[in-house]
Structure 1
């Protein structure tokens, strides 16, 4: 496919025949089925129709805020050269490769696939003849004054392709563009021959106002990304986030090459070399942290959200992620504020939590938050992710806009409004805690953590979410006790609160995962429930620890395990 088709037939959903639903849950399901998308543009409305994505809430502000997220997202979908592409929104006119063209388009892919595909392609279309991909594209054209990379483009492209099976021509076009960009980086951003990637300026990392780049220029010399100002003290940096980006990028380019019938081996070798350079030059084993290495060979000891960026690039094993999580990301003296992950460690004397401006010197940035789930999910930690998401969901549920920054102390909305990463974060978070989440590996996940326990008046009484997958209309109806999954309107599976169920596209259960911060005992029931672990018929009782995964194959348990839960610590 190449995108949603306005002629996608509506799936007939019969009236609910499950009397056990609570009255609020029944009302939420009715609201879900009566959703009006007539005010949205054709690009978003057709995307929602094709994917079947929907959400409704009874009680609290979430219903209105989900609708506002769609409206703000719709305002950020702009026509360029005859196609609809995503713009960053807020104070930012255009599409940035660090965000709009990668993680934001990756999330958008689940709601408006064609707009996501065209947003990715925007950067290939405007690539320079020497291979450099623009750091942003506006209606006036591409801009090349820095590289500004964070989320690996190849990962986002591959995720989109696996969700929607894009045409080979589209995938090859993106592959060739990313391959040429990789060659440009190797030629121009490794002046010391280390095999790593260098930052020449602050905006290469998009770290505006961060102490990480004090005394560095904002942009590359003369507005040209291949030039580093020789008068800038300490520059260039060997940058861990840029090096991790390329390592991850090459790993996914190997997968794309294999999909296109090419040899993936050179890309895998290149990815391994990038990873080795990252640890050789940027890793501090004593601090369990990644630092820039300046031109004099000295580490720049500023603890920033670089730690999360590297982890989101799939660097290291589960043990490394656990160490970084324990010592930094889930330490409330470092990065874990009550309202999200800060952009600078809070125990750094240079920390500045001012959320009223575009700053990476301290406040919670919604770009950090939309990038975070991949790191947690990749390392099998949905329970910790749920802990992180819920207060931020509360903050955005009671906010008056979708901002770039949040106050770490109060959750108050700060700089700018109608910011597409923030709107997309809410859509993504809802699917991760109480919706139907399509998985790039195939199938989908349904998490039973209805937002019924949010604070500050944000809690709902019940929620309902929908998706169309493989021609089947799926609906998940949740209240404080659990979730009922409906298949074409009929009960398929009941999931206890605190569990996530993973299913194939046809509804066969493959795993359940503990997503609460404590063990939860319960049972799966309904036509989609497998046999109990002891082989008995029906849904047997299970106790799932946080992050514990129980896997089934043909109705039989074939594996059980998971990491030890890491709670927030002072």
Structure 2
């Protein structure tokens, strides 16, 4: 039987990145559970939604079949209403290994009316919808095997239902964009972008929960106890209203540019999936175009030169520079003036692209910048990968190549750290982190590798080429 590691071990001796490729493959192999890949064996011992999408993008270079399995396992826990939960719990993991644990979320009972699976425990919130994009890239890694297994034919209705739920149940602002209702949903958990909205939330009593994350990471690197108490309160309120957005009194509801940009990029990919699966791609392309128009109209700030989140409770834009505001670079068809401004902002004082390591998660000049505390300043590999893809998409080849080289160098130097301190490049958080290894593998692809497809290219007139 062929090992998933074998392609990495067979890399030519002349390949200067052979050791990095081998080590990245070993991280993914060691974090594989038999059905999915955990982000880490310590801090994150279950399956996470957007982690698995990024992991599949890297796994396709080692084993397209295993990459398919990664996404199939995640989508196998999809709720009847279409949502893809942000955690799929492994029942063999002790309850005290992670909090909030299955007995907090109580998905199979509290979420029953929304179609939560009866035999799989999950969380009730979601994460950014990278999945259609990942599925399309996985298919392209081995189209013959994908077709033989009916991979996209099976994935398409699930992914279409996921996108429908986001576009309907979560259009809380009524403007054609998807809202987040918990800081964990956009993936930038304790970003300063959420500070003002979180200040409205009465935290859960400290004695009502125990933080398992501090067993594995320094408190100075993680969200504060006060923030955690607010996270718990928001999740409990959603749970106690049956995870139903129509009846939950969301005190925290924002339109996040990064979340919506990933939905648009995935909607483009879903159009390609539909065509491959024998369905009509036109509705997906139309929805992507409409969402792009809404994204620019509602969240673009020409004054700031970046996309800004919108607080739906107050109706106000959150005037904070965050990597989420650069992520829309991955959207095909952005107006050229918006692209130019985003690229300028990325290279400017707020993010220091080309001077700082990777792409800082928060404004380097911001009043609450913290170089070490989770999403309040450190640079992350997955958001750097997204910005790299956006730069490449919009013809910024030199900047994209520099960022690619830095991602690989930092992944190598830090042992695939969860994130890095943006000025020193020192690894922070967990080591041997799965999406860091997976995205390093993706950036190690050979020139001309067709598995790099999945983002539309732009032609000389600035329009995406299909």
TM-score range, shorter chain: 0.7 to 0.9
Question: What corresponds to 1:281 in structure 2?
Answer: 298
Instruction: Tell me the CA shift for residue 390 of structure 1.
Output: 3.0
Question: What corresponds to 1:28 in structure 2?
Answer: none
Q: Is the 8 A contact 1:351 1:361 kept in 2?
A: yes
Whether 1:202 aligns to 2:153 is no
Question: What corresponds to 1:172 in structure 2?
Answer: 153
Q: Deviations over 1:263-316 (max 9, x none)?
A: 222222222221222122111122222111112211011111112322224361
Q: Tell me how far apart the structure 2 counterparts of residues 333 and 65 of structure 1 sit (CA, whole Å).
A: 31
SS at match of 1:204: coil
Question: What corresponds to 1:133 in structure 2?
Answer: 84
- Compare 331-340 and 153-162 and name the one that shifted more: 331-340
Residue of structure 2 aligned with 1:388, choices 395, 399, 403: 403
Q: Tell me how far apart the structure 2 counterparts of residues 236 and 283 of structure 1 sit (CA, whole Å).
A: 18
Q: Tell me how far apart the structure 2 counterparts of residues 116 and 92 of structure 1 sit (CA, whole Å).
A: 19
Instruction: Tell me the CA shift for residue 441 of structure 1.
Output: 7.3
Structure 2 matches for 1:244-259, cutoff 5 A? 244-259=261-276
Question: What corresponds to 2:338 in structure 1?
Answer: 320
Q: Tell me how far apart the structure 2 counterparts of residues 170 and 430 of structure 1 sit (CA, whole Å).
A: 25
Instruction: Tell me the CA shift for residue 202 of structure 1.
Output: 0.2
Q: Is the 8 A contact 1:341 1:364 kept in 2?
A: yes
Instruction: Tell me the CA shift for residue 78 of structure 1.
Output: 1.8
Instruction: Tell me the CA shift for residue 66 of structure 1.
Output: 4.1
Q: Tell me how far apart the structure 2 counterparts of residues 250 and 63 of structure 1 sit (CA, whole Å).
A: 34
Q: Where does structure 1 differ by over 6 angstroms across 4 or more consecutive aligned residues?
A: none
Structure 2 matches for 1:452-467, cutoff 5 A? none
Instruction: Tell me the CA shift for residue 407 of structure 1.
Output: 1.2
Whether 1:76 aligns to 2:61 is no
Instruction: Tell me the CA shift for residue 86 of structure 1.
Output: 2.4
Q: Tell me how far apart the structure 2 counterparts of residues 103 and 237 of structure 1 sit (CA, whole Å).
A: 24
Instruction: Tell me the CA shift for residue 142 of structure 1.
Output: 4.6
Gaps of 5+ in 1: 7-41, 443-548, 550-558, 564-570
Whether 1:407 aligns to 2:407 is no
Instruction: Tell me the CA shift for residue 71 of structure 1.
Output: 2.0
Residue of structure 2 aligned with 1:364, choices 379, 383, 387: 379
- Compare 417-426 and 389-398 and name the one that shifted more: 389-398
Bigger relative contact order, structure 1 or 2 (CA pairs below 8 A, ≥6 apart): 2
SS at match of 1:213: helix
SS at match of 1:43: coil
Question: What corresponds to 2:124 in structure 1?
Answer: 145
Question: What corresponds to 2:322 in structure 1?
Answer: 304
Gaps of 5+ in 2: 92-119, 199-229
Residue of structure 2 aligned with 1:67, choices 16, 22, 28: 22
Instruction: Tell me the CA shift for residue 392 of structure 1.
Output: 4.2
Whether 1:118 aligns to 2:69 is yes
Q: Tell me how far apart the structure 2 counterparts of residues 188 and 207 of structure 1 sit (CA, whole Å).
A: 22
Pairwise CA RMSD? 2.8
Q: Tell me how far apart the structure 2 counterparts of residues 239 and 439 of structure 1 sit (CA, whole Å).
A: 31
TM-score, L = length of structure 1: 0.62
Q: Tell me how far apart the structure 2 counterparts of residues 420 and 231 of structure 1 sit (CA, whole Å).
A: 33
Q: Deviations over 1:46-104 (max 9, x none)?
A: x558xx6556567xxx6654433232221112213xxxx3222252122322222x222
Question: What corresponds to 2:433 in structure 1?
Answer: 419
Question: What corresponds to 1:537 in structure 2?
Answer: none
Q: Higher Cα Rg: structure 1 or 2? A: 1
Structure 2 matches for 1:161-560, cutoff 5 A? 161-165=139-143, 166-167=146-147, 169-214=150-195, 215-216=197-198, 217-218=230-231, 219-220=234-235, 221-223=237-239, 225-227=243-245, 230=249, 232=251, 235-294=252-311, 295-314=313-332, 316-317=334-335, 319-326=337-344, 328-336=345-353, 337-354=355-372, 359-399=374-414, 401-431=415-445, 435-436=446-447, 438-440=449-451
Q: Is the 8 A contact 1:134 1:142 kept in 2?
A: no
Instruction: Tell me the CA shift for residue 237 of structure 1.
Output: 1.1
Q: Is the 8 A contact 2:388 2:403 kept in 1?
A: no
Q: Tell me how far apart the structure 2 counterparts of residues 186 and 426 of structure 1 sit (CA, whole Å).
A: 32
Q: How many correspondences in the alignment?
A: 386
Q: Tell me how far apart the structure 2 counterparts of residues 397 and 189 of structure 1 sit (CA, whole Å).
A: 39
Q: Tell me how far apart the structure 1 counterparts of residues 461 and 271 of structure 2 sit (CA, whole Å).
A: 28
SS at match of 2:150: helix
Whether 1:97 aligns to 2:49 is yes
